[in-house]
Amino acid sequence: MKNLATLSLLLLLVCLNSFAQSETSFTVVETDHYELIIPEKKQVGVLILFGGFPETSDVIKREFKVVKPAMEAGIAVVLMKLNRRLWLEESEKKQLSAIMNQMFIDNDLIQENVYLGGFSSGGNISLLLGNYLIESENNIQPEGVFIVDSPVDLLRMYENAQRNIERNFLPSSVQESEMIVGLLESAFGQPEDNIKRYEANSPYTSKTHNTDNLTHLRHVKLRLYTEPDTAWWKQNRQHEYEDMNAYFIEKMADDLTEAFGDNVKYIATENRGYRANGNRHPHSWSIVDVGELIHWMMEK
């Protein structure tokens, strides 16, 4: 009996040791501006992520299971702590690029195979910042940018928020829409008198087919993820397809494909949107197939 117990203990220790060796080692560097996770194996790329409007770096890690597979592939992951932005002022673009450049220097990150991506409003930031980095001939030159169900059209976001307030279907949704209207009116005024200000700050303006803020992404690989679950949005928010981020992402994809060609890929998913707590929600990081995303980053 004693020999059996000893054998069981030895087997357990072997299993634990094998598991520990199979885990990919990494180093974490955290500052006020970012959380950087660096694989100990040879670096082959850098993935810079921006969360949605209220998201912290911890929320990104919880909702987007990319860190472990990225470490296994040799890709450093940067979780930017910038949030509560739907667009970027020029001063913010300059400041962000300076922070990122210093991060690359301080942590000896490779400057090849750099990708930006973001969820919801973070996707807007990824597009606008990626365009700025190339336009300004920054040391960091992204090879690809992806968005996850982002509100790319600020003008229509304002108009949809107004309709949602009038619809008055769900108190929390109405409260969010009131915040959006207040934020955009404070920054740009009412659209009927200030459409140029909306165009100047939005990744895309469908009403005028304006993509001027993305012109420098012409030779960058772009992925536009969304999950256009019309039944879910109708049941839970009383939204029609034309009220959804997916509608304007698809329109932007059409205009960018016409301008840029095959570098643009519109990816409409089905039944992938679930939050980390198991709740069904098509507006989620989880619509991205992480393994396929990493393959996209690695392919030439």
pLDDT in tens, 8-46: 444 443 333 433 444 679 999 999 999 999 999 999 999
Task: Using alpha carbons, select from 273, 295, 291 the residue that is nearest to residue 119.
Answer: 273
Q: What is the dihedral of CA 155, 156, 158, 163, to 10 degrees?
A: 150
Q: Report the C-alpha gap between 34 and 57 in whole angstroms.
A: 8
User: What pTM was computed for the model?
Assistant: 0.92
Query: What are the residues whose beta carbons fall under 8 Å from the beta carbon of 14, sequence distance 6 or more?
Result: none
Residues above pLDDT 70, as percent of the chain? 92
What are 191-211's pLDDT values in tens digits?
999 999 999 999 999 999 999
CB 226 within 8 A of CB 249: yes
The whole-angstrom separation of Cα 47 and Cα 67 is: 10
Q: Which of 254, 259, 241 is nearest to 206 (CA)?
A: 254
